[in-house]
A and B are shown apart, each in its own frame.
Chain A
Amino acid sequence: MSINTTPLFAVLGTLALAAGAAHATEVKYMLWDSNQLPAYQQCATDFQKKNAGITIKIMQSGWGDYWTAISTGFVSGTAPDVFTDHLAKYPEFAKNKQIVDLTPFIQRDKLDPGAYATGLFDIWGRDGKQYGLPKDWDTIGFIVNMEQAKKAGVTLAELQSMTWNPKDGGSFEQIVRKLTLDAAGNNATSPKFDKKNVAVYGYQTPGSGGMMGQTEWSHFAVSNGFKFQDKPWDPQFHYDDPKLAETMTYLAGLPGKGVSASFENTKSLGSDAMFVGKKVAIVPQGSWMITYFKDSAKFEHAWVPLPTGPTGTRATMFNGLADSIWVGSKVKEEAWKWVKYLGSADCQGVVASYGVVFPAIKGMAEKAIEAQQKKGVDSSAFLTMAKSKTFLTPIADSASEINEVMTGAMESVLIGKADAASALKAANTKANQLVKN
């Protein structure tokens, strides 16, 4: 007495399948900046409303452990579907086919690369393949302790129109000297200045800067006429350019003038802490730090554009993050939808309104500035910088090792143990060798 159960199972099976398909697909997304977490959580909520059936699980992991977690994820097959990527890291991932080439998706959905700020889209691609959709851009500016500036008689207008050259430092150095105070209250333009007893420094170089010098020296060097490479991916660096050596010599000489603390003394907590602690009047930093200083520096401070260099322009590194999709993701279509949303005006508008970063889509920068103004910060300096001469980060294979080499060279120059010309020449040779491997 066998009942023909096959049709029954077929029906049940189909029902089960349908029920399974009705379950939400989960897309795992990873990022490192906890300051941006609320903004992206809002994006996720909005996205989920528009895309029933997809849930976004956001995981945040601090910078220190982020890349180890991602690499381990690749190796073990547990990497997130989408993750915030970095220009220094993605070349290696791309070369080893760990991230998805987004070009087919972009062409299918007819995305317009021109929607993004100039240069950002291209730098996330190589040889016709695209590995990320730009999320944001950042530029560099100076943050100035206005309380102190006012006491020293330095006006905002003066700060916004500084000039610099590697020989005498231009009006930049004059202002820095006015803002440097020794324990007795003399500033560094006075003959009574005691450079062994400085209470407040005028300017501080944040660190060695590695191969990019994003906040440390690239703006000075490029405004002096220096160029990292002739074009992105070019296996030929120009670190041996005398214009860079001039710049580094100038920066290395600042502690000797008493206007900066020695390099060794700023390696622990660093220049940002010094600024917040009122031990230095001006430091260079990137626009991603706006919120940090707003929250921590409880005195009047202002962001000003960088000085104009010998070439007659201001220069700043123009950098941007993007999100990549892991090759081993089992939900690539859904992951792409999320990446597309992250790269869209909707999400970037939300992120802008949180006032943490500038969105990559053209025309939205003003929104971010507005949001920041509401919080009491004038970040227009960064927009000014974005409209001046911008240059992209150097991008090449073997970036980590090249960075090692350059860090060593820059450190030795800034500590005073090596002269810039020879150290940079040697480093450049090594860098060119590494990039060809």
Chain B
Amino acid sequence: MTTITIPGLHRGRLTSPGRVVAWGVLILMLGVTLMPLWMVLKTALMHPSELFTQSTQILPSDPTLLNFKRVLGLLSTEESLAVGGSGAEINFARALGNSVLFTTIIVVLQIGFAAMAAYAFARLRFPGRKLLFALFVGSMMVPSVVTFIPNFILIKDLGWLNTMAGMVAPFCLMQGFSVFFLRQFFLSIPRDLEEAAVLDGASHLYIFARVVLPLSITPIVTIAMLTGINMWNEFFWPYLVAKDGALQVLPVALQTFKSQTPQGQPDWTGLMAATAITVLPTLMLLVAFGRRVVESVQFSGGK
């Protein structure tokens, strides 16, 4: 069902003072959001030696692609060290590939299983439902500092250290955040369509797959995107499980730009360039999937 154009609802009120104020605030907030990101880009384009002498300026005086080259592993170790970078080797393409694989596996599996569980919690009645849901939500409240060691030992005992399986294991089956989110969404879908389907004799699985899921594309895409972003940036677990060699994901490969010595400075220009580069794939995906989130899924109501 397309949006009915009601006179005065969208078009005619453009100049109301409320709208002007709202636009003003919005633009201000967009500015506050963009300014630091611009500083990241600007710092990434600066030569390391000018870093601190020109730290307060808004434009780079002598833009250079040197830092991007360093992040992408295109400079040799000596060249890197000569500009103040670290001597560690970076295989960017491989790390990128690992990150893509890591993120995709987790998003597909985790969201799939979360949707299934969330539907069960939202719509089906079964003994233990409340308790189980409470436990799932509760899982978000255990600080990971105490759970990561038992998990690490488990992965090691399974022989999954330095494997993709070991890296994705804790994330790909369950994440309280995803289940909670989708369950709230399924709750908020008006039951009319489902009730109609029940009356038509549909099974629960059918309703789940053919009625509820199609209606939930927006929240599913949203949570998939958010989970994807979180997994793309996940550092500590992949670092523990697969910190060297062929399975490094991007955040692990790029940790060389953080501080390397007890009193040392991080490699700021390299860090900013690394930030700019790691954001790009997620940004592209966001734009690609953004259409989905932009389209308002109109609820068609019982007909």
Contact = CB atoms under 8 A, between A and B. Distances in A.
Contacts of A288: 261
A285 B49 CA distance: 19
A260 interface: no
Interface stretch (B81-89, B122-130, B208-216): B81-89
A273 B264 contact: no
Nearest to B262: A63
Instruction: Find the residue from B50, B236, B262 having the highest chain A CB count within 10 A.
Output: B262
Interface string A271-304: 0111011100000011011011001111000000
Instruction: Find the residue from B51, B84, B149, B255 having the highest chain A CB count within 10 A.
Output: B84
Interface string A151-190: 0000000000000000000000000000000000000000
A82 to B, nearest CB: 15
Interface in B220-235: none
Given A38-B78, A38-B81, A269-B52, 17 more contacts: A34-B87, A34-B260, A38-B87, A61-B255, A62-B256, A63-B259, A63-B264, A64-B258, A65-B239, A274-B52, A277-B52, A278-B52, A286-B263, A289-B264, A292-B264, A295-B82, A296-B51
Interface residues of B, number: 36
Contacts of A69: 239-240, 243
A391 interface: no
Contacts of B83: 295
Contacts of A64: 258-259
Nearest to A272: B265
A269 B55 CA distance: 11
Interface in A385-437: none
A172 B262 CA distance: 28
Contact of B51 (A65, A270, A276): A276
Contacts of B82: 295
Interface string A257-272: 0000000000001101
Contacts of A344: none
Nearest to B50: A298
B112 to A, nearest CB: 31
A269 B265 contact: yes
Given A35-B261, A62-B259, A72 B81 contact: no
B53 interface: yes
Contact of A75 (B53, B87, B149, B258): B149
A206 B260 contact: no
B48 interface: yes
Contacts of B255: 61-62, 65
Contacts of A59: 243-244
B92 interface: no
A35 B81 contact: yes
Interface string B66-86: 000000000001100111101
B13 interface: no
A139 interface: no
A437 B88 CA distance: 41
Q: What are the 4 tightest A-B residue pairs by CB atom distance, in nearest-first order? A: A277-B52, A34-B86, A295-B84, A37-B87
Contacts of B243: 59, 61, 69
B277 to A, nearest CB: 19
Contacts of B297: none
Interface in A71-89: 72, 75-78
Given A37-B87, A272-B265, A273-B52, A62 B156 contact: no
A273 B263 CA distance: 11
B90 to A, nearest CB: 11
Chain B interface main SS type? loop
A292 B51 CA distance: 13
A285 B86 CA distance: 20
Contacts of B50: 298
Given A60-B88, A289-B263, A292-B264, A76 B153 contact: yes
B52 A75 contact: no
A77 B156 contact: yes
A33 interface: yes
B261 A215 contact: no
Contacts of A77: 156
A176 to B, nearest CB: 21
A32 interface: yes
Nearest to B236: A65
B152 interface: yes
A292 B262 contact: no
Contacts of B239: 65, 69
A296 to B, nearest CB: 5
Contacts of A276: 51-53
Interface string B149-193: 100110010000100000000000000000000000000000000
Interface string B238-252: 011001100000000
Contacts of A78: 156, 161
A176 B224 CA distance: 58
A38 B86 CA distance: 10
Contacts of B259: 62-64
A76 B152 contact: yes
Contacts of A285: 263
Contact of B49 (A38, A206, A215, A298): A298
Contacts of A63: 259-262, 264
A274 B53 CA distance: 9
Given A35-B81, A276-B53, A75 B153 contact: yes
A27 to B, nearest CB: 14
A72 B144 CA distance: 14
Interface string B44-66: 00001111110100000000000
Contacts of A62: 255-256, 258-260
Interface in B244-289: 244, 255-256, 258-265
Nearest to A59: B244
Contact of A35 (B87, B152, B240): B87
Contact of A32 (B51, B161, B260, B265): B260
Contact of A37 (B51, B52, B88): B88
A2 B137 CA distance: 65
Contacts of A72: 149, 152, 240
A35 B263 CA distance: 13
19 contacts: A34-B88, A35-B261, A37-B87, A37-B88, A62-B255, A62-B258, A63-B259, A63-B260, A69-B243, A72-B240, A76-B152, A76-B156, A78-B156, A269-B265, A273-B265, A285-B263, A289-B263, A296-B49, A298-B50
